[in-house]
Amino acid sequence: MLTRLSAVLVLMTAVLTGTAAAVPPPPPNPSDAEISASRAEADAKAARVGELTGRLTQAESRLQELLDDVSYKRELANKARVDLETAISEAEAARTEAAAARVQADAASAAVEESRRALDEFAAASYAQGTTVGSFSAYIGAKSPEDLLARAQMLEAVSASSLNRLDQVTRDQGTAANLDSSARAALKKSELKQAAADEAKKVAEQAQQVAVTAHSAQAAATEELQSDKDAVERELASARGAVSGLEAQRQQYDQWTEAKRREDEENARRAAAAAAAAAAPQAPAPRRPIAAAPAPSGNRVQTVINRALAQRGVIYAWGGGNHYGPTYGVRDGGVADSYGDFRKIGFDCSGLMMYAFAGAGVFLPHYSGYQYNSGRKVPLSQMAPGDMIFWGPGGGTHVALYLGGGMMVEAPHSGAVVRISPVRYGGIMPYVTRVL
């Protein structure tokens, strides 16, 4: 009986004690030196990314300055073209006027010559007949002294009329000559004006081309810098991945060590007292309240911001966009045409503002200079989300929408898309415009 009881007790002890789940073999355990070296490499890559980010920010700022200069030079070239067209029209009108005056002067000269010739013939005939009145043959056939007197008076009247007509034609010739002289002077002046306008057009177009070339060179340099930054960022991601991998291995090893320690302690406790081996059930961890997501703002400013942000990635098109969305761009005879903006459906800077503010019932004109004067002027240091930021004289170069935190949304330039950017302070106006 005793032997049988002992066997039962041994069996119960074995059942109560049990065997803890075996801990798997230890995972790799990287050394502290390996982890430190990996972290140092990642830190070096991060520093390099920071350096390139700073240089890229400067390059993009310079690129924007050059783009602003291109825009300004493009407008000057457009002005020169308009001035030249006006000068050509004035010169053409002056040529027409000069030609008419020349015809009038030539006709007057011909009339004077004809009158002078007739008068000379009359005088010659009178001289040949020994009279200053007219040909003697005019008196032949007179029927009476009264008839003779009448014929003499008629010849005298004809002579006076010829002289008077000669005087009038001479005066007309002088007037025509004066008109011809004035017309030729006006023509010369208009031609000089046309030549000056043509030269100004050439200079303006050359300046525009210089600006475009400088912008293109800066764009290439910026693109190369962006490529370098992207490459280093990929290297940084790889380095951080390596650090994370080593740290994960270390964490797994530490967890294995802790699990092994707990296993040894548990086995020791179970070996000491089988009844105490059963661990008390743990109370469930208190659930943390889930923070409610912030409700979207229903105010008009947020509506404007949301409409602008919803257009991120839409292509830039010079002259594109209205109150209802993106539209085809228009020709500008320069940079925008070289990018084919007139074939694209998108926004330019002021077109994006038109669309954004139309959502709040504000319908802005499609020109940043007019938009600058469409609301209250607020000092730049006090700008708030929803304010419009401007660059260039009178705000006529560029406009963007301030988002807060030093960031803005804009349709920047041909070849780009609507995007979020840090606020650029080069050439910025000292006031923002607050519409809402």
Task: Answer yes or no: are the C-beta atoms of 325 and 310 closer than 8 Å.
Answer: no
Cα–Cα distance measured from residue 39 to residue 236, given in angstroms and rounded to the nearest whole number: 11
- As given in the structure block, the two tokens for residue 436 are 């809402």
The Cβ of residue 231 has, within 10 Å, a number of other Cβ atoms equal to 11
- As given in the structure block, the two tokens for residue 194 are 């046309």
Residues with a known catalytic role:
349, 398, 410
Q: Provide Rg for the chain, Cα atoms.
A: 49
Cα–Cα distance measured from residue 165 to residue 179, given in angstroms and rounded to the nearest whole number: 21
**Placement of tokens 């060179």 in the chain:** 217
Long-range Cβ contacts of 108-116 (<8 Å, 24+ apart): 108/169, 108/172, 108/173, 108/175, 108/176, 108/177, 109/173, 109/176, 111/169, 111/172, 111/173, 112/166, 112/169, 112/170, 112/173, 115/162, 115/165, 115/166, 115/169, 116/166
- As given in the structure block, the two tokens for residue 371 are 């938009």
